């Protein structure tokens, strides 16, 4: 158990509303990641963090922002949700202090934008 | 840029039969390679990983994978599948970059169906 929780686990929202998803880890890992999973696309990296207040963009970052004010929490925000952001969102942490990039995933958040 | 191809979207195997799931990657050097499994409605679980050394790696649940540099492949195998192996399987490649924070690049997944 990598000690990762995500909240909420399910959310339905309206187009144009802001949404924030939370990832919480208990392992004090430096690196945290947000991915989205869509049928036919596998998982794609949205944003990642390499420390408190240190974040960077991934492959599909448009329409998303992130924040990390504490080591244990990594927040993903959709400023104005669109139907194309309907997806399952996974948070991940790097499991070791080495450079092997081995990652462990949270249980996911299913987001539906109507 | 790195990429991962899983040529088979769906595979159907009879229970007790052997399994091989294909994965091809594109990367400039020897990458870090992973296989993950996802059961319906669940998160991803790491099955096995390759970093260096022995090209045949063992994982959990009786799975193994073989890294073949000449073919840019990292195929997943199991000698005898169980009904509980029905799931989505993802191959992923990671950056070989000391201290790098880049995320993993995933294939699109192979959906494994087990026939009784």
Q: Residue A96 sits in a domain of what CATH number?
A: 2.60.40.10
How many C-beta atoms lie closer than 10 Å to residue B29's C-beta? 8
Average pLDDT over residues A17-41: 93
Give the residue from B29, B30, B103 with the most A CB atoms within 10 Å of its CB, the best one to mutate: B103
- Indicate the number of domains in chain B: 1
- 3-class SS of residue A40: coil
Rounded to the nearest angstrom, the minimum Cα separation between B103 and chain A is 6
Average pLDDT over residues B52-63: 92
Average pLDDT over residues A16-24: 97
**Tell me, what CATH number does B69's domain have?**
2.60.40.10
- What is the model's pLDDT at position A98? 59
Structure tokens at A27: 């392992």
Task: Report the alpha-carbon distance of residue B109 to residue A38 in Å, rounded.
Answer: 11
- Indicate the number of domains in chain A: 1
Domain membership of residue A34 as a residue range: 4-113
- Per-residue pLDDT tens digits for A50-61: 889 999 999 899
Domain membership of residue B30 as a residue range: 3-115
Task: Indicate if the pLDDT at residue B51 is higher than 90.
Answer: no
- What is the model's pLDDT at position A100? 64
What share of residues in chain B are helix, strand, coil (percent, to 5)?
10, 50, 40
């Amino acid at each position: 158990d990598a000690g990762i929780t995500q909240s909420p686990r399910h959310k339905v929202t309206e187009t144009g509303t802001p949404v924030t998803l939370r990832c919480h880890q208990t392992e004090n890992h430096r690196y945290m990641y947000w991915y989205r999973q869509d049928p036919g696309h596998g998982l794609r990296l949205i944003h990642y963090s390499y420390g408190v207040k240190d974040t960077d963009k991934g492959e599909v970052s448009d329409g998303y922002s992130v924040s990390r004010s504490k080591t244990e929490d990594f927040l993903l925000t959709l400023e104005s949700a669109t139907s194309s952001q309907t997806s399952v969102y996974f948070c991940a942490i790097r499991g070791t202090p080495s450079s092997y990039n081995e990652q462990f995933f949270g249980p996911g958040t299913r987001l539906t934008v109507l | 840029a790195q990429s991962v191809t899983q040529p088979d979207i769906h595979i159907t195997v009879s229970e007790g039969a052997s399994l091989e799931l294909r994965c091809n990657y594109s990367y400039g050097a020897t990458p870090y390679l992973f296989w993950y499994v996802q059961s319906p409605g669940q998160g991803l679980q790491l099955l096995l990983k390759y970093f260096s050394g022995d090209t045949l790696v063992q994982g959990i649940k009786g799975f193994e994978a073989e890294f073949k540099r000449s073919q840019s492949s990292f195929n997943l195998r199991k000698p005898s599948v169980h009904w509980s192996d029905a799931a989505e399987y993802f191959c992923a490649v990671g950056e070989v970059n000391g201290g790098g924070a880049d995320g993993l690049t995933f294939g699109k997944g192979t959906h494994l169906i087990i026939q009784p």
